[in-house]
Amino acid sequence: MTAHKKTMLILTSTFLVVLVSIAWNLVQQGRYDYAQNIIIKIVLWILYTFWEVKSGITISNYIRASVMTILISDSYFGLYLDIYVTSSIFDKVQHVFGSYVFSLFAYSIICKLAQPMIGRGFTFIFILTLGLSIGAIYEVGEFLGDSIAKPSMPSQPNLLDTNLDLIADIMGALLAAVHVTIILVGNLNNNIR
pLDDT tens for the chain, 193 residues: list them: 788 889 999 999 999 999 999 999 999 999 998 999 999 999 999 999 999 989 988 899 999 999 999 999 999 999 999 999 899 899 999 999 999 999 999 999 988 888 777 778 888 899 999 999 998 998 888 888 888 877 777 777 788 888 888 899 999 999 999 988 887 655 544 445 4
Pairwise CA distance, residues 80 & 35, whole Å: 9
Q: Is 54 contained in some domain? A: no
Q: Is 23 contained in some domain? A: no
Q: Is 102 contained in some domain? A: yes
Confidence (pTM): 0.82
Domain that holds residue 169: 88-193
HSE on the CB side for 62, CA within 13 Å?
10
Domain count, the chain: 1
